Every structure is written in structure tokens, then in C-alpha cells.
């Protein structure tokens, strides 16, 4: 097996719950022993659980899955400090922030969808076929507010920042890293190179982006208005179109057009080929999978990357 990837050995559910209880006790968070904990095993970077404390408050608990996530969490804390004072929606406020354990009071709202890890599919709280105007408008307003945070502000807060003139070079470098590690089909590689070569697709500005804005990270209220955003590990100052790709993948082209229209009304900056650029970004999602596989060392994601990259997957015999 390639040394860059390895197979994970998951703990049992009871072992995971015991981890949370022991760490909460170590950091003086008094959980209510008569209130059941709910495990959320869907996150790639953190194992999460919801629990109640002895004062009947709801808390979210997080344990990093891998050593590399500890550094990511320290970075995320900087992001939360910045966006927490800049957005019209709530973000987590970490009351406990330690390398092995993070805990914060649960935000109001419900995820637009949760991931069923067994079925590898979303369980929806909103209508995925026709997202409501309330959802689209409020998401657009939150995204526009986030994207108004510029590179200088992000850099001053200690966040990663890429300038607009460097976006294509950074994308090309990421593609090359993945190609060297896994290979890429000729058709996919040629499509990416044509996209990189055409400046008309690309924005002339950058902004602070969430970086992983899928439905599980979007909280909605009882009227389906966005009221909170979760999991900011991938945030950086970069290509604002990135935050539209998950929406496009899930809800489709028509809903994307509606979101872009509302985004512009809310003050978001658009450009002539932004919608096409979002589609091209979505078509390059295999790069994101490949980079995550290399970063995490998880063989299952390496296999996913090879499949998405159009590379034959040779599974070893048991």
C-alpha cells in the first residue's frame, strides 16, 4: 500500500461516546448523565456529539479525527473570531478549545440536511427539489456579507489569502499535485487546462470564503431562513465562486441562477461568466477529494479520488 494513505480503524459507538464523556469531565464540562448523547459521525475532520449539561443547556462536542486536524482547528478559531463579528447569522463560539477537545453551546436552528453515513446520502430538513425563496434569499445575504470581508482584513486576522491574479496558478498547482499522486484521465486534464487558459471565466477579485458550504453546514430556522453557518476549517480568502459549488451540485442550475440573482441584490460581486465558472469548479471537485486524501492519509478517499479522476481503481484482495 502507498505510504501516503492508510486505512482507518473506527471505534465502536460506545467507545466514541466514552471518549466524549472522559474529555468533558477532564475540561470541567458537567454533562447530564441522565440525558442521552447523540453521535454525529458524518464529519470528515471531527467526530461530533450533542449533549446536555447539568444546567440543561445543549452543547456540541468535537474530537479531532487525525493529528493534522489539530492545526486546522487552531486556524478555524481565528476564522470564527473574525466572522463572528461580521455576519448576519450565528457561528460557533468555542467555550472550550483544546487540541483534543472542542465544545460550544449549540446554535439555534437545524441543519438544512444531515448526512446518513450508512446510505451515503442526505437526510433533508428542507425541500431539495425546490428550495424556498426564504432559504435562497437568506443564504445569499449571508454569503454576500461573508464575501465583503476582503483579503487585507483576512490576512490581518492571520488567515490564508490568495490574490486574484494568483487564482489560476494556485488551481493549476493543486491539479498538478493530484495528477502526480493519482493520475488524471486525459479528457478531464484537457478540460481543466482549457478552463485555466481562459481568463474570462475567472474573477478579478477575491474574498473571504467558507470553503465547504454544503447543506450540513447551513442552519435554518422554522421558516427555512438561514440562521447559522458551521465548520469553518476550509475558510480562506480566495475565489468567491467556491462557495456556490456545493449549492449547484445539490440544487441544480435553476436554483443556482436564483441564488446568484439574490446574491447580487444583497451586494455580492458577480462577473459575466461567474455561473459558467462555478460549473467548471464543480467539475474539478476531484482535485479537492485528492488533496483531502493526501492530507488525511485515508485510503477510502484515495479510492474516491481515483474514481473521480477517471483513474482505474485496483482494489487489493482481502
* The three cell numbers locating residue 312: 482505474
Q: Encode 287-304: b = buried (16+ Cβ within 10 Å), e = exposed.
A: bbbbbbbbebbbbebbbb
Cβ pair 199, 276 in contact under 8 A: no
**Does residue 239 have an active-site annotation?**
no
CB 304 within 8 A of CB 291: no
Of the CA atoms within 13 Å of residue 247, those in its CB half-sphere come to 26
- CA 66, 71, 74, 80 dihedral sign is negative
Q: What is the rounded CA–CA span in Å between residue 69 and residue 75?
A: 10
Catalytic residue selected from 45, 212, 231, 243 = 212
Whole-angstrom distance, CA of residue 122 vs CA of residue 305: 20
Counting every residue written for the chain, the total comes to 318
Indicate which residues carry an active-site annotation. 212
Amino acid at each position: 500500500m502507498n505510504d501516503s494513505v492508510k486505512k482507518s480503524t473506527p471505534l465502536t459507538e460506545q467507545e466514541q461516546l466514552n471518549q466524549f464523556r472522559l474529555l468533558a469531565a477532564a475540561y470541567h464540562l458537567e454533562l447530564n448523565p441522565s440525558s442521552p448523547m447523540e453521535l454525529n459521525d458524518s464529519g470528515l475532520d471531527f467526530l461530533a456529539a450533542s449533549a446536555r449539561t447539568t444546567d440543561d443547556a445543549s452543547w456540541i462536542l468535537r474530537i479531532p479525527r487525525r493529528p493534522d486536524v489539530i492545526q486546522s482547528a487552531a486556524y478555524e478559531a481565528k476564522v470564527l473570531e473574525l466572522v463572528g463579528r461580521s455576519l448576519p447569522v450565528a457561528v460557533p463560539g468555542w467555550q472550550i478549545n483544546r487540541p483534543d477537545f472542542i465544545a460550544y453551546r449549540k446554535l439555534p436552528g437545524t441543519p438544512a440536511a444531515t448526512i446518513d453515513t450508512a446510505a451515503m446520502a442526505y437526510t433533508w430538513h428542507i425541500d431539495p427539489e425546490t428550495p424556498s425563496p426564504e432559504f435562497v434569499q437568506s443564504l445569499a445575504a449571508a454569503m454576500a456579507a461573508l464575501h465583503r470581508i476582503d483579503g487585507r482584513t483576512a490576512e490581518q486576522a492571520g488567515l490564508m489569502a490568495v490574490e486574484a491574479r494568483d487564482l489560476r496558478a494556485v488551481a493549476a498547482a493543486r491539479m498538478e499535485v493530484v495528477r502526480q499522486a493519482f493520475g488524471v484521465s486525459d479528457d478531464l486534464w484537457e478540460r481543466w487546462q482549457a478552463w485555466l487558459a481562459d481568463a474570462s471565466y475567472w474573477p478579478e477579485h477575491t474574498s473571504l470564503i467558507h470553503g465547504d458550504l454544503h447543506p450540513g453546514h447551513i442552519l435554518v430556522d422554522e421558516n427555512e431562513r438561514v440562521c447559522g453557518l458551521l465548520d469553518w476549517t476550509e475558510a480562506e480568502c480566495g475565489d468567491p465562486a467556491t462557495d456556490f459549488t456545493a449549492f449547484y451540485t445539490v440544487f441544480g442550475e435553476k436554483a443556482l441562477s436564483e441564488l446568484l440573482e439574490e446574491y447580487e441584490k444583497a451586494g455580492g460581486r458577480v462577473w459575466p461568466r461567474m455561473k459558467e465558472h462555478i460549473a467548471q469548479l464543480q467539475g474539478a471537485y476531484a482535485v479537492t477529494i485528492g488533496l483531502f486524501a493526501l492530507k488525511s492519509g485515508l485510503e477510502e478517499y484515495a479510492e474516491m479520488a481515483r474514481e473521480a479522476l477517471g483513474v482505474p481503481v485496483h482494489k487489493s484482495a482481502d
